[in-house]
Structure 1
Amino acid sequence: MGQHHKRTIAERVYDQLRRAILTGELAPGERLDQAGLAQRFGASLVPVREALARLQADGLVRIVPHRGAFVQSMSPDTLMEVYAMRELLEEDAARLAAPHLSDDDLAELQRLVDAMADATLREDYGALFEFNREFHFTIYRAARRPNLLQIIEQLWNHGDHYRRSYTQVPERARQALEEHRVILAACRRRDPDALGLMIRHHVHQTTVGLLEHIATMMREEERRDSPTA
């Protein structure tokens, strides 16, 4: 009973910390004080440490010996490497998924495209972010490759904070919506080549725009921090 209760607390801490990181409530590079987290969640240090270890395995947290745990952050070079891997793996997953997409999958993808269109119109970028993720993983789950799916999910986790910020750029939101419609059309044809290439193009477009977005943010921060600003 005690072990089950401890696992339940660790899972609750894990879920809430993961959500806080993915929503940007906890920023990249932010230190995660274990005692503070234990107090925040009404837990002992043991389930907090278990949750942090799981988050490190997910690629969301970095644990540094003798220094503590930190929300994972990435340089532009590392982010570019992550997205280069995403291009390759997600193209592969899409090609594998194409012939296995069911009518129910296609109906769900249409629902998600409609939801993204509505969220874009309302400028509800939080909802758009979630719908976008579910759209992609509805496709990738159809590949029936659980290990590949896990690796792709870890890569998404690495860049989620930065993507969330970029999702809020209206021009990119509209462009991505059109790309998702083309992806859906390829899904309906169950065409592995077309779907794989469109997914790769879509991820590449995100990479280019995201790096430009981060560079702009860094320049703005430098101007704000400049003594002459």
Structure 2
Amino acid sequence: MRKRSVFAGEPTPPSPSAPTPTVIAVKPGAIVSALRRDIVLGELPQGAKLVELALAERFGCSQASVREALFRLAAEGLVRREGHKGTFVSRTDAVEARELVAIRRRLEPAGARRAVPGLPADVLADLARQIETMQHLARADDWYGLSEADRAFHLTLFEAADMPALQPILARCFSLLHRFAFGDPARRRTPMEAADRHWEIVTAARRGDAEATAAALDHHVVTLVAGLSAAEAEARA
């Protein structure tokens, strides 16, 4: 029998021996989480260039997925995109960290004063569970997990204040301050101390004492970064 000809433009069927490429569907959210961890813990240093093709190879995904993840990280302030130059891990020095602390001191106590009177029992229970999660992560010396649990704790309390326009500002502060505080081991408290510091906030909230909760939050935030004053003086020098 005469073989059928293959016309120009018609795709040539693959050889039976040719390997079929494997496509791994990695969602942008997973890439964001992995890169956020590397940035917060200082494994990707400040100023490091992030190459989309290399990241796509690392995660086994498309460059489009990497690009979306980088846009999300840029919204958090963890990376900066510089046009044709590329994308870089952003920098946060001690002077900027002090200003981020000031923003949190303005927002979180105000949120507590609004949220704590009549705070639902299920929210209080969630806050207590989140501290227990932090303690578990502290025992495992999991600083990134501790960072994420800390973020969840503070956002849970702030969300109860019903000020949604301010939540993205606060979330950005968390990302940048955690990177500053946890990225350098010299600035870290002990993991269990970092977890246990939250109980004073919950104890005041359980009493329904808005002012005491606000004061506990203010003290918590202002003492967040060990050695911040010394680091700030060094940055200004």
Q: Give the 3 Å change call, closer, same or farther, for CA 28–173 of structure 1 in structure 2.
A: farther
Q: Distance in 2 between the 1:46 and 1:114 partners? A: 38
Q: Give the 3 Å change call, closer, same or farther, for CA 181–11 of structure 1 in structure 2.
A: closer
Q: Give the 3 Å change call, closer, same or farther, for CA 210–69 of structure 1 in structure 2.
A: farther
Opposite residue 16 of structure 1, the aligned amino acid is A
The answer to whether the aligner puts 1:38 opposite 2:41 as a matched pair is no
Number of residue pairs matched by the alignment? 208
Q: Distance in 2 between the 1:173 and 1:213 partners? A: 23
1:150 corresponds in structure 2 to 168
1:30-179 map, 5 Å: 30-117=48-135, 119-120=137-138, 122=139, 124-126=141-143, 127-164=145-182, 165=184, 168-170=188-190, 173-174=192-193, 176-177=194-195, 179=197
If the length of structure 1 is used for normalisation, what is the TM-score?
0.76
CA contact (8 A) 1:162 1:210 kept: no
Opposite residue 54 of structure 1, the aligned amino acid is R
CA contact (8 A) 1:86 1:203 kept: yes
Q: Distance in 2 between the 1:190 and 1:94 partners? A: 10
Higher helix share: 1
Larger radius of gyration: 2
**What percentage of aligned pairs have identical amino acids?**
35
Q: Distance in 2 between the 1:123 and 1:14 partners? A: 23
CA contact (8 A) 2:80 2:87 kept: yes
Q: Bigger shift: 13-22 or 137-146?
A: 13-22
Q: Give the 3 Å change call, closer, same or farther, for CA 215–148 of structure 1 in structure 2.
A: closer
Match of 1:187 among 187, 205, 213: 205
Q: Distance in 2 between the 1:68 and 1:82 partners? A: 26
Q: Distance in 2 between the 1:113 and 1:9 partners? A: 29
Q: How far apart are 1:38 and its partner, in Å? A: 2.1
Q: Distance in 1 between the 2:233 and 2:212 partners? A: 33
Opposite residue 21 of structure 1, the aligned amino acid is I
Opposite residue 105 of structure 1, the aligned amino acid is V
CA contact (8 A) 2:112 2:210 kept: yes
Q: SS at 1:27's partner residue?
A: coil
Q: Distance in 2 between the 1:133 and 1:69 partners? A: 25
CA contact (8 A) 1:22 1:160 kept: yes
Point out where structure 1 has 5 or more consecutive residues left out of the alignment: 1-6, 219-229
Point out where structure 2 has 5 or more consecutive residues left out of the alignment: 1-24
Q: How far apart are 1:15 and its partner, in Å? A: 4.0
Q: SS at 1:66's partner residue?
A: helix
